[in-house]
Amino acid sequence: MTAHIALNLAAFLCSLVAGFLFAFSVVVMPGLKGLDDRAFLEGFRTIDGVIQRGDPLFGVVWIGSALALIAALVLGLGQLAGPEKGLLALATGIYLLGVQLPTVAIHIPLNNELQALDVAGADAETVRRARRRFEPRWNRWNRIRTALAALTTAMLLVVLAMP
């Protein structure tokens, strides 16, 4: 595989991840926001459950974006010029630290906490507290992931456009 092929694949997959995160930021979470606490938690749990059940296409895109980016960087070290290498290395670092790391360190634990909660059986105060612990932090970090995934994609497109 050449660096150019890996770079095209990485740009494509990172753009899909950026779009997915963007959709959560501007459609899904604002749509859920208007629901009462119990409905919000149940709605989010249902959406997250689709992801947690391990849809293979989602996994290919999510994990594949990181793997393709790493492959592009490794191959690019020997095949790309100085500015292209530097921009690709920066894009890779931004994506791994700004998108993938917060997903593992923040979003997955928050999602798992909600999945473990008996929303239907919990009293109103427990449900209210669970939402307050979850929603602001999840949204804040998702906006960060969205911006950095979009930035990564833009940087990869710049690298691809370089002569």
> Per-residue confidence at 55, pLDDT binned at 50, 70, 90?
confident
Q: Across the chain, what does the average pLDDT equal?
A: 96
Say whether 48 sits in a helix, a strand or coil: helix
Tokens standing for residue 123 = 């009293």
Distance, CA of 131 to CA of 2 (rounded, Å): 47
Per-residue pLDDT, 85:
95
Neighbours of 150 (CB within 10 A): 18
Question: CA-based angle 104:109:114, to the nearest 5?
Answer: 140
Q: What is the mean pLDDT of residues 29-43?
A: 97
**How is the chain split into domains, by residue range?**
3-161
What pLDDT digit, counting tens, does each position of 102-124 carry? 999 999 999 999 999 999 999 99
DSSP letter assigned to residue 75: H
HEC profile for 112-157? HHHHHCCCCCCCHHHHHHHHHHHHHHHHHHHHHHHHHHHHHHHHHH
Tokens standing for residue 86 = 């530097």
H or E element in which residue 160 lies: helix 124-161
Per-residue pLDDT, 163:
82
